[in-house]
Structure 1
Amino acid sequence: MSKNSFLFKGWAVSVASGLAAFAAIGDRRALLVFAVTSTTLFWAMDGYYLWLERGFVALHNKVAEAPASQPVDYVMSVDKTKAFRKWLRTMLRWHLVLFYGTIVAIDVIAAIYFRKVTNG
């Protein structure tokens, strides 16, 4: 799961910076809106995989804490009660907000800057 998180972060930076570079020479606002959208989608997927990882850790802890006399349940289903709320709470963890929020903020600032340059 952590490998997926690492890949999402790499792709988010690559796509956002590539689209921002194209925005410097082409249709600025459309590309920057796409950069913000793609970064937000990478943020959502990263949060989803982090939520899954946390669910599997909780499942492991539950099985590890069970008494030895109790038969082991080998079902690997993650608890999905209030899944959407837990996923959103996971997306808003400080390290994800700091990483993806910085990318989104830079793209928004660039869009505002390019809008002023184009109009002014």
Structure 2
Amino acid sequence: MSDENKQYLEFIQHTINRMASNSFYIKGFSVTVLSAIFAIFANNPYKYILIVGYFPTISSWLLDTYYLQLERQYRNLYNDATGITTYKPVSTYDLNAKDYILEDDKFYKIAISFSQILTYPPILAILTFLLIFFKPDSK
């Protein structure tokens, strides 16, 4: 393998790593924001505070799904560049991965993938449970 090809594969790998770290940071940010919302709710038990928790959770879910989709696209490009698969001809230093969305890489399939389902629906379930069943103490 030539030095040019190695450099090209490193570019793709760095992009894949960046998408994976973005996804990780989004999950961490979502948990941090929700922890703050729960802390505020613990001090001020008003149900409308819980409703605010839906917005960062849903937006984080969508953004996380987007970055996971990009990561998969770049993995597919990497596989083509190394010759593991042949989805389409790859020219050296072409980092455009928009044509690498496969059937399993559709946005809605990634949104309901194992890693996403174990993260965001439980948070939404907790918010909904508290919203429905929490009765603040009347003084």
Same fold (TM over 0.5): yes
Report 1 or 2 for greater relative contact order, CA contacts < 8 Å, sequence distance ≥ 6. 1
Counterpart CA distance in 2 for 1:111 and 1:25 is 16
Given the alignment of the two structures, is residue 20 of structure 1 paired with residue 38 of structure 2, yes or no? Answer: yes
Task: Tell me how far 1:27 sits from its aligned partner.
Answer: 6.4
Which one is further off, 23-32 or 1-10? Answer: 23-32
Which one is further off, 70-79 or 1-10? Answer: 70-79
Match of 2:10 in 1: none
Match of 2:120 in 1: 100
Q: Deviations over 1:42-90 (max 9, x none)?
A: 11111100000000001111222279xx88342211227699x811211
Counterpart CA distance in 1 for 2:31 and 2:81 is 38
Given the alignment of the two structures, is residue 11 of structure 1 paired with residue 29 of structure 2, yes or no? Answer: yes
Q: Hey, which bits of structure 1, 4+ residues long, moved more than 6 A?
A: 80-83
Match of 2:110 in 1: 90
Normalising to structure 1: TM-score of the pair?
0.79
Percent identity over the alignment is: 30
Question: Given that residues 36 and 108 in structure 1 are in contact (C-alpha distance below 8 angstroms), is that contact kept between their aligned partners in structure 2?
Answer: no
User: 2:60 corresponds to which letter in structure 1?
Assistant: F
Is there any run of 5+ residues in structure 1 with no aligned partner, and where? none
Aligned residues: 115
Normalising to structure 2: TM-score of the pair?
0.69
Counterpart CA distance in 2 for 1:74 and 1:20 is 47
Counterpart CA distance in 2 for 1:7 and 1:56 is 19
Match of 1:110 in 2: 130
Q: 1:57 to 1:71 in 2, by over 3 A?
A: closer
Pick from 94, 106, 110: which aligns with 1:75?
Answer: 94
Task: Tell me how far 1:10 sits from its aligned partner.
Answer: 0.9
Match of 1:63 in 2: 81
Is there any run of 5+ residues in structure 2 with no aligned partner, and where? 1-18
